[in-house]
Amino acid sequence: MPTFELVPLQQAKNQAELTGKRGGIILEYLAYIDRVEPGKAGKLSITNGESSAAIKRRLGTAAKHAGKTLMVKRVGDDIYFWPEVRRRGRPRKGS
DSSP string for 27-95: HHHHHHHHHPPTT--EEEE--TT--HHHHHHHHHHHHHHHT--EEEEEETTEEEEEEPPPPPSPPPPP-
- Asked whether residue 95 is assigned to any structural domain, the reply reads no
User: Can you give the residue range of the structural domain that contains 18?
Assistant: 9-83
Residue 53 has a pLDDT of: 92
Residue 12 has a pLDDT of: 74
Q: Which pTM does this prediction carry?
A: 0.70
User: What's the domain count of the chain?
Assistant: 1
Residue 15 has a pLDDT of: 67
Rounded mean pLDDT for each run of 10 residues along the chain, 95 residues in total: 80 69 85 89 90 92 89 92 83 75
- Asked whether residue 30 is assigned to any structural domain, the reply reads yes
